[in-house]
Structure 1
Amino acid sequence: MSADLRDPYRRQGVLHGRCLCGDVRITVDGDYIAAIGACHCIMCQRNNGVVFAAFEASADAVSATGPVRTYASSEFAERTFCGTCGSPLWLRDTKGTYASAYELMPGLFADAAAFPLISEIYHDRAPAYVTLAGDHRRMTRADYEQKNLHIEGDMR
């Protein structure tokens, strides 16, 4: 998400979340973006079963307790999940512009149900059964990959 899209949604405060089984508890205490970005790349589809959607929080605002497990899904990003129930928790870039932010799964946080969708990337890769409605920014695979770190090739 570009800074101009996120600016109206910048917030400070406390959000509490948990995984499906409750073994992992996540607290955001500080800066976050009260808006959702979605991704339809093949890696996100495989990791989440359909679409990836997340909101951002600064690294120093996020704390988690419980059996958090990490998987390096590329040389520039890692994905985390609950070691008990397998619930996806967050994606985090380890290199590049967003290396200091967490992309948290909104379904873990009751308060995030009110966050609007403001961007969708790889929208030309979305499965036929997923159409995200609304007036938000959409980027194709080619547009996104022109400006951002990505995995080369289609992983189908």
Structure 2
Amino acid sequence: MSNEVSGEDLIAPYRRNGSLSGRCLCGGVAIEIAGDYVAAVGVCHCKMCQRWNGTMFGGFVAAADAVTITGDVVRHASSTFSERAFCATCGSHVFLRNTGPDAQEIELFPGLFDDAQDFPLVSEIYIDRAPHYAPLAGDHPRRTRAEYESKELFVEGDNP
């Protein structure tokens, strides 16, 4: 697959409207999606995601207004334009989202949703920062740090 595929062209075949239910490890946080989401996973290998997850970040997006989260969630402002959240009891990561005024999507962790186990991997970013112990197979677009940062919002100073 070419790295020049637009983001919308990449995810269009995976757009869904429906329901998904998820939960954290202890069950204290429940996530309900009732509406639009993308049934495909994108992976990020940047240093911030590696530090947060212990390896890479893999997520799928849903319309923010389609997501209801209940339970004790701790939010962390990880940059001037985004926040990350986790369960206050067990520490399970729940979401990453843009906090800007135009933000309409939220990135969720597929492992929280039993019905997401078959979502395909459709993209990887920061591949030049991926750990050697975690190569991902498949024919999907891959972008280096420079390729990603030339076109997308990113956090300054993501150096090791």
Q: Fold match, TM over 0.5?
A: yes
- Provide TM-score, normalisation by structure 1: 0.96
Alignment match of 1:127 (pick from 103, 126, 131): 131
What's 1:87 paired with? Answer: 92
Do the aligned residues in 2 keep the contact of 1:43 with 1:155 (CA within 8 Å)?
no
**Which structure 1 residue ranges, 5 or more long, are not aligned?**
none
- Alignment partners' CA distance in 2, 1:53 and 1:39: 7
What's 2:108 paired with? Answer: 104
- Alignment partners' CA distance in 1, 2:41 and 2:69: 21
Displacement of 1:155: 3.4
What's 1:24 paired with? Answer: 29
SS at match of 1:131: coil
- Alignment partners' CA distance in 1, 2:129 and 2:110: 22
Summarize the Cα distance change of 1:52–1:85 in structure 2 as closer, same or farther, 3 Å threshold. Answer: same
Counterpart of 1:52 in structure 2: which amino acid? F
- Alignment partners' CA distance in 2, 1:154 and 1:78: 16
What's 2:61 paired with? Answer: 56
Is the counterpart of residue 152 in structure 1 residue 156 in structure 2?
yes
Counterpart of 1:69 in structure 2: which amino acid? V
Displacement of 1:96: 7.9
Alignment match of 1:42 (pick from 31, 35, 47): 47
SS at match of 2:55: coil
Do the aligned residues in 1 keep the contact of 2:48 with 2:158 (CA within 8 Å)?
no
Q: State the 4+ residue runs in structure 1 displaced beyond 3 angstroms.
A: none
Query: Percent of pairs identical after alignment?
Result: 60
Do the aligned residues in 1 keep the contact of 2:96 with 2:107 (CA within 8 Å)?
yes
- Alignment partners' CA distance in 2, 1:126 and 1:74: 21
Do the aligned residues in 1 keep the contact of 2:18 with 2:33 (CA within 8 Å)?
yes
Displacement of 1:95: 2.6
Is the counterpart of residue 72 in structure 1 residue 77 in structure 2?
yes
What's 2:3 paired with? Answer: none
SS at match of 2:128: helix
- Alignment partners' CA distance in 1, 2:98 and 2:20: 21
Do the aligned residues in 2 keep the contact of 1:77 with 1:95 (CA within 8 Å)?
yes
Counterpart of 2:84 in structure 1: which amino acid? R
SS at match of 2:91: coil
**Which structure 2 residue ranges, 5 or more long, are not aligned?**
1-5
Aligned residues: 155
- Provide TM-score, normalisation by structure 2: 0.94
